C-alpha cells in the first residue's frame, strides 16, 4: 500500500512539477470537505425531516404563530378616555402583573411602558399615566385640571404649541415609544337610531375620520350598536376572523355562535332558544362591560 502511495506521489510531482504535491492535494480536499460539512449542517435548506420544500423549518405553527409576527405592531386603534385610563401601570385585577403604561399627547396614544420608572407608579410623571396630558406638558404643569383637557388644546399659545410638538417629537423619534392610536373624546350619540344601511358603511374599510386612529367598525348586538374599532381591530378588522360581523346586526350569529352566512345576514331573533338568548346577552355584556366598546347608536327595528 505504501509503495502505491509513493508511486502516486512521484507521478503527481512529475505531472504537476511541484514536490510533495500529493500532500497539498490532500489538504485542499480536507478543507473542501470541512467547508461542505459546516455549511450543510447549518443551512436552512438542509434535508431535515421537519423542513418543507421552501427550506423553512416546520415547527407545527402556522405563519400567524411565527416569531416574526410577534414583533409586528398591532394595527392602530381608537381609545375612549375610559379605556385609556386602564393603562396606568398599576397591578392588574389579579395583582400579579403590572399593566402597561399608556398616555396621550394631543390625542395620540403612546405606549410609554419603556419609561416605566418615569411614568409608572412612584415615578416623577406617574400623574400622566392613562391620561391625555397634552395641555399639561405644553404648559409644563402638574395641575390636574389640565389632564384629559381636549378643549384647551385649541387655546394653546404659540410657545406652548411648540413645546407640545417637541414632546411628540421626543416620544416618536428619540424615545421611540410605540404609537398605538388615537383618543376620541367626542363620540356619536348612543341613542341615535341606525338602519341596516347605516351599519353597512362602517366595516373598517372606509377612510379614517379626522381625530380617529382607525376607521369605525360597527357591530349590532341586541338593540345596541357598538364601535369595536375601540380595541377590537385585531378581531373585527379587514382580514380578521370576526370581520364578517362588521357592519351588520350580528345578534343572531352571535347568539348561535355561528359563522354561517345564513345567520350573519339574518337579524331575526324571534326563534332563538333561551340558551341562545343567554349567549347573546353574554356577548353584549362582554362588549359593554369587559371590552368597554362604546355604544354609538340603537338598531332600527
pTM: predicted TM-score of the whole model, two decimal places: 0.76
Contacts (Cβ under 8 Å, ≥6 apart) of 213? 76, 77, 78, 79, 109, 180, 181, 182, 184
Average pLDDT over residues 265-285: 96
Residue 6 confidence class, pLDDT cut points 50, 70, 90: low
CA dist., res. 227 & res. 202, Å (int): 9
Average pLDDT over residues 55-61: 34
Residue found by looking up cell 402638574 in the block: 142
- pLDDT at residue number 95: 82
Average pLDDT over residues 207-235: 97
Residue 255 confidence class, pLDDT cut points 50, 70, 90: very high
CA dist., res. 230 & res. 59, Å (int): 34
Q: Which three cell numbers stand for residue 66?
A: 411565527
Contacts (Cβ under 8 Å, ≥6 apart) of 59? 50
CA dist., res. 252 & res. 280, Å (int): 8
**Percentage of residues in the chain with pLDDT exceeding 90?**
73
Residue 129: pLDDT over 50? yes
Q: Which three cell numbers stand for residue 36?
A: 461542505
- pLDDT at residue number 301: 77
Contacts (Cβ under 8 Å, ≥6 apart) of 10? none
Q: What is the pLDDT of residues 72-82, one digit of tens each?
A: 789 999 999 99
DSSP-assigned beta bridge partners for residue 110: 103, 179
One-letter-per-residue 3-state SS of 129-168: CCCECHHHHHCCCCCHHHCCCCHHHHHCCHHHHHHHHHHH
DSSP-assigned beta bridge partners for residue 108: 105, 182
DSSP-assigned beta bridge partners for residue 224: 221, 298
Residue 125 confidence class, pLDDT cut points 50, 70, 90: very high
DSSP-assigned beta bridge partners for residue 102: 111
Amino acid at each position: 500500500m505504501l509503495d502505491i502511495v509513493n508511486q502516486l506521489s512521484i507521478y503527481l510531482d512529475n505531472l504537476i512539477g511541484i514536490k510533495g504535491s500529493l500532500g497539498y492535494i490532500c489538504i485542499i480536499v480536507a478543507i473542501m470537505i470541512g467547508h461542505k460539512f459546516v455549511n450543510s449542517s447549518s443551512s436552512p435548506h438542509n434535508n431535515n425531516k421537519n423542513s418543507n420544500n421552501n427550506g423553512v423549518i416546520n415547527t407545527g405553527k402556522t405563519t400567524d404563530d411565527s416569531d416574526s409576527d410577534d414583533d409586528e405592531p398591532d394595527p392602530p386603534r381608537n381609545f375612549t378616555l375610559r379605556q385609556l385610563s386602564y393603562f396606568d401601570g398599576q397591578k392588574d385585577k389579579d395583582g400579579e402583573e403590572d399593566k402597561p403604561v399608556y398616555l396621550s399627547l394631543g390625542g395620540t396614544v403612546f405606549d410609554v411602558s419603556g419609561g416605566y420608572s418615569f411614568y409608572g407608579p412612584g415615578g416623577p410623571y406617574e400623574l400622566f399615566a392613562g391620561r391625555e396630558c397634552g395641555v399639561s406638558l405644553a404648559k409644563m404643569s402638574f395641575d390636574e385640571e389640565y389632564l384629559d383637557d381636549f378643549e384647551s388644546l385649541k387655546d394653546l399659545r404659540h410657545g406652548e404649541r411648540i413645546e407640545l410638538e417637541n414632546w411628540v417629537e421626543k416620544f416618536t423619534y428619540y424615545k421611540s415609544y410605540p404609537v398605538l392610536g388615537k383618543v376620541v373624546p367626542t363620540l356619536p350619540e348612543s341613542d341615535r337610531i341606525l338602519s341596516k344601511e347605516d351599519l353597512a358603511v362602517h366595516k373598517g374599510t372606509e377612510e379614517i375620520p379626522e381625530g380617529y386612529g382607525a376607521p369605525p367598525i360597527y357591530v349590532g348586538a341586541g338593540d345596541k350598536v357598538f364601535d369595536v374599532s375601540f380595541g377590537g381591530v385585531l378581531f373585527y378588522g379587514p382580514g380578521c376572523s370576526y370581520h364578517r360581523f362588521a357592519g351588520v346586526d350580528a345578534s343572531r350569529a352571535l347568539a348561535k355562535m355561528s359563522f354561517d352566512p345564513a345567520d350573519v345576514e339574518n337579524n331575526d331573533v324571534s326563534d332563538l332558544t333561551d340558551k341562545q338568548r343567554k349567549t347573546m346577552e353574554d356577548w353584549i355584556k362582554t362588549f359593554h362591560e369587559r371590552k368597554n366598546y362604546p355604544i354609538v347608536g340603537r338598531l332600527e327595528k
